[in-house]
């Protein structure tokens, strides 16, 4: 598994911004655009870049805190 796979990423429509917003709250605040597929693709690229920056500077990656679903016991 790649480090980026640990982080939850999603795209949703924003009525306020009149655009699709891509989010990965554990690493980036968000990106936006008109095409949800393109926004998700760009979000994945940004997440990879952020992780590469952490690794190049020797900083530990933040622990993933946002989970898409609750764990079922």
Predicted model pTM = 0.85
Is 36 part of any domain? yes
Q: Is residue 40 very low, low, confident or very high in pLDDT (cuts 50, 70, 90)?
A: very high
What is the reported pLDDT for 29? Answer: 79
If you average pLDDT over every residue of the chain, what do you get? 91
Is 68 part of any domain? no
Average pLDDT on 14-25 reads 96
What's the number of CA atoms in the CB half-sphere (13 Å) around residue 11?
16
Q: Which residues constitute the domain of residue 48?
A: 3-57
The rounded distance, in Å, linking the Cα atoms of 15 and 31 is: 15
Q: Which runs of consecutive H residues, i.e. helices, occur in 1-73? A: 36-57
What's the number of CA atoms in the CB half-sphere (13 Å) around residue 42?
15
Is 71 part of any domain? no
What is the reported pLDDT for 71? Answer: 52
What is the reported pLDDT for 51? Answer: 96
Is 9 part of any domain? yes
């Amino acid at each position: 598994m790649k480090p980026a796979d640990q982080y939850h990423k999603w795209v949703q429509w924003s009525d306020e911004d009149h655009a699709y917003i891509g989010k990965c709250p554990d690493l980036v605040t968000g990106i936006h655009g008109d095409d949800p597929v393109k926004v998700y693709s760009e979000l994945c690229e940004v997440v990879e870049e952020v992780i590469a920056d952490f690794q190049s500077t020797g900083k530990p990656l933040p622990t993933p805190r946002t989970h898409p679903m609750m764990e079922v016991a």
